Amino acid sequence: MARPGGTASVLAVHRSGSHSFSKFAEDAVTLLPGLGVQGDAHSGATVKHRSRVARDASQPNLRQVHLLHAELFDELMESGFAVWPGELGENVTTRGLDLLSLATGTRLHLGADAVVELTGLRNPCSQMDRFQRGLMAATLARDAAGRLVRKAGVMAVVLAAGEVRPGEAIRVELPCGAARPLEPV
């Protein structure tokens, strides 16, 4: 949820028309229902991430939009990594929202019109270490019970179209019923 004393907002938006690791900052991105970010290589109704296409290209795309909390960049920089928004491949960088604590099915209202629904966690991959050595391990941790914590953001599908710009507010709509923790997708 929003962090105490603040409101959740969009810090930056990114896209890339190629399957590059990092994405480029934009003044705005347009979210398309059932597809993702217009003009992004990962946009589509079926899987677009190369490893998933190789396994089964007909599977639904549960990774249409990648959201990452700016607080992770703060943490990484404190640990000696020079990493900036967009460089970890996210489409939307948030500030003031504990993305990792949200439940599967949580809806995020981004700006005036766009709505995404969280489908799961991004599973950090070895591409991170090709970008900067040790980065993958820095996005993983263990909680008090010894369970693996994946900190590389969350994935979502687009429910309602809209343009998303830096500085816009994010409103959180929790799902009805029992909360299901986010799992890797």
Write the DSSP assignment of 145-165 as a string of letters.
TS-EEE-S-EEEEEEE-EEE-
pLDDT of residue 2: 58
Supply the CATH number for residue 167's domain.
Answer: 2.40.33.20
Q: Would residue 179 count as lying in a domain?
A: no
Q: Would residue 129 count as lying in a domain?
A: yes
Q: Would residue 36 count as lying in a domain?
A: yes
Q: Tell me the C-alpha distance between 184 and 164, whole Å.
A: 25
Helices (H), 10-162: 50-56, 70-78, 127-131, 135-138
pLDDT of residue 51: 83
Q: Which residue ranges of the chain lie beneath pLDDT 50?
A: 4
- Which residue type, as a one-letter code, is found at position 17? G
pLDDT of residue 53: 86
The total number of residues shown for the chain amounts to 185
Q: Would residue 182 count as lying in a domain?
A: no
Q: Would residue 81 count as lying in a domain?
A: yes
Q: Give the total number of structural domains in the chain.
A: 1
1's tokens: 């949820």
Q: Would residue 185 count as lying in a domain?
A: no
Beta bridge partners of 72: none
> What domain range is 169 assigned to?
9-173
Q: Would residue 183 count as lying in a domain?
A: no
Q: Starting at the edge strand that comes first in sequence, how are the strands of the sheet with 162-164 ordered?
A: 36-37, 29-32, 162-164
Q: Tell me the C-alpha distance between 151 and 165, whole Å.
A: 23
pLDDT of residue 4: 46
Q: Would residue 178 count as lying in a domain?
A: no
80 phi-psi bin (left φ>0, alpha ψ -120 to 50, beta other):
left
